[in-house]
């Protein structure tokens, strides 16, 4: 049967509104209908679209929640370890020859605590930014060396670390926030601000000392050891080690969460800061760094992008001291550490991993901490030479 459309005009423009009605050629009137197959197909498309929309929303919500949980767990609080059961140099080991003055200042409402060493030294003020998981006292061998070289040293515990306030270390950019607060505090202290300002940082601190150059502090030179270029590079690199390629699906959520925590500081990158300031920078990195990949998130991986002629690079490739935490070890220290570790392993096995506290304390009491924490002479001479040049620049 054939149909013909009724003549009509648009509603409200001189005639009756158009209707979806047709005349049968026999004169009767009918209504156009959709075929059953088309109706089912449209309904299926609608259901699929709704399902995909719900799935997308759930994926975003779950991903963001998971991102927050995983990110926060990577930045817990780090309290000072029991000094009787670690091999680190303790302040009590050097207190007589290296007196220190306590200082405190605020960083976003948290009270950060530190010390000034070599208070009579006037060659320059060296600020030390420590690595994640440690504190200022983790770098007592370096502090001792720099004081002996005539520098005054300002070393502090970052947010959520050792003696400073904070329930957590919050995130990678927090190191920049805290260093900026430290330098702002120093600028307000006449006895400190009168000295040429130098920065030294390792790992988390190595990232901070170059990225803080995004602020207008009068810095004469920077030593960055095992540092990264950007916070997100480090987060993604560590995430890939834990989660494989799946971490890349989480990039937008990691980027957003870090941005919500730290604002534009989360987007700081060391390369841009080095270009913008022209400050002398010494970049040191080990080829076997297990935490910050030499050709990955490391600042040194971006050396071809840096045109600042005052930037120098030191690649450490000697086995036994080309990792993340062993760069400063001497040959003697490496040998001694192997001996100490072998002895500790024997004790550990004898007690099935449950070494009594007294036995453990006795073991560490007999460790030669000075030998274990000796600094590699050639590397320190390189750093000293760089500092000399930076102070003359």
**319 vs 8: CA distance, rounded Å:** 90
**56 vs 379: CA distance, rounded Å:** 53
Between helix 251-262 and helix 231-243 the angle, nearest 10°, is: 140
**Long-range contacts from 261-267, C-beta under 8 angstroms, 24+ separation:** 261/170, 261/171, 261/173, 262/171, 262/173, 262/174, 262/177, 262/231, 265/173, 265/176, 265/177, 266/171, 266/173, 266/231, 266/232, 267/230
C-alpha 210 chain-centroid distance: 12
**74-230+268-328 belongs to which homologous superfamily?**
Alpha/Beta hydrolase fold, catalytic domain (3.40.50.1820)
Query: What digits encode the pLDDT tens for the residues 163-175?
Result: 999 999 999 999 9
* Mean pLDDT per 10-residue interval, the chain, length 393 residues: 41 44 43 57 66 71 78 94 95 98 98 99 98 98 99 99 98 98 98 98 98 98 98 86 73 89 96 94 98 97 95 96 97 96 97 96 97 97 98 91
Supply the pLDDT for residue 34.
52
Please report, for residues 9, 16, 32, 308, the alpha-carbon distance to residue 3 in angstroms, rounded to integers and kept in the order given: 19, 20, 9, 81
**Extended strands (E) in the chain:** 3-5, 21-24, 29-31, 100-107, 110-117, 125-129, 152-156, 197-202, 219-225, 281-286, 311-316
Q: Phi and psi for 333 in degrees, rounded to 5?
A: -65, -40
- Other C-beta atoms closer than 10 Å to the C-beta of 375 total 16
Please report, for residues 142, 256, 294, 296, 318, the alpha-carbon distance to residue 288 in angstroms, rounded to integers and kept in the order given: 22, 31, 7, 12, 9
Q: Give one DSSP letter per residue of 3-19, joined into a string.
A: EEEPP---TTSSSPPP-
**For the chain, domain boundaries:** 1-33, 74-230+268-328, 329-374
pTM for the predicted model, two decimal places: 0.85
Query: What digits encode the pLDDT tens for the residues 55-111?
Result: 767 767 777 787 788 888 889 999 999 999 999 999 999 999 999 999 999 999 999
Query: What digits encode the pLDDT tens for the residues 183-193?
Result: 999 999 999 99
């Amino acid at each position: 049967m054939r149909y013909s459309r009724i003549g009509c005009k648009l509603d409200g423009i001189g005639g009756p509104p158009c209707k979806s009605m047709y005349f049968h050629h026999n004169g009767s009137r009918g209504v156009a209908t959709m075929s059953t197959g088309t109706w089912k197909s449209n309904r299926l498309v609608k259901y699929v679209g709704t399902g995909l929309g719900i799935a997308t929303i759930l994926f975003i919500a779950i991903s963001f929640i998971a991102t927050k949980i995983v990110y926060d767990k990577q930045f817990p609080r780090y309290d000072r370890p029991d000094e009787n059961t670690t091999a680190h140099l303790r302040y009590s080991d050097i207190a007589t020859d290296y007196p220190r003055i306590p200082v405190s200042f605020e960083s976003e409402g948290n009270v950060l605590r530190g010390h000034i060493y070599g208070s009579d030294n006037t060659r320059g003020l060296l600020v030390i930014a420590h690595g994640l998981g440690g504190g200022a006292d983790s770098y007592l061998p370096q502090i001792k060396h720099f004081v002996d070289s005539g520098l005054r040293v300002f070393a502090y515990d970052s947010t959520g670390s050792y003696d400073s306030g904070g329930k957590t270390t919050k995130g990678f950019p927090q190191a920049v926030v805290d260093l900026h607060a430290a330098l702002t505090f120093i600028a307000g202290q006449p006895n400190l601000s009168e000295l040429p300002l130098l920065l030294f940082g390792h790992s988390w601190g190595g990232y901070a000392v170059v990225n803080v150059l995004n602020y207008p502090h009068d810095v004469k030179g920077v030593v960055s050891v095992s540092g990264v270029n950007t916070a997100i590079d480090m987060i993604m690199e560590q995430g890939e080690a834990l989660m494989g390629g799946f971490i890349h699906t989480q990039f937008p959520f990691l980027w957003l969460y870090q941005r919500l925590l730290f604002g534009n500081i989360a987007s700081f990158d060391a390369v841009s800061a080095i270009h913008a300031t022209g400050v002398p920078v010494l970049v040191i990195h080990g080829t076997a760094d297990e935490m910050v990949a030499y050709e990955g998130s490391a600042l040194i991986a971006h050396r071809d992008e840096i045109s600042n002629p005052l930037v120098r690079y030191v690649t450490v490739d000697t086995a036994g001291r080309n990792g993340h935490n062993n760069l400063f070890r001497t040959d003697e220290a490496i040998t001694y550490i192997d001996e100490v570790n072998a002895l500790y392993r024997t004790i550990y096995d004898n007690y099935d991993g449950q070494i009594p506290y007294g036995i453990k304390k006795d073991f560490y009491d007999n460790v030669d901490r000075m030998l274990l924490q000796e600094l590699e002479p050639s590397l320190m001479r390189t750093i000293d030479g760089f500092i000399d040049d930076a102070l003359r620049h």
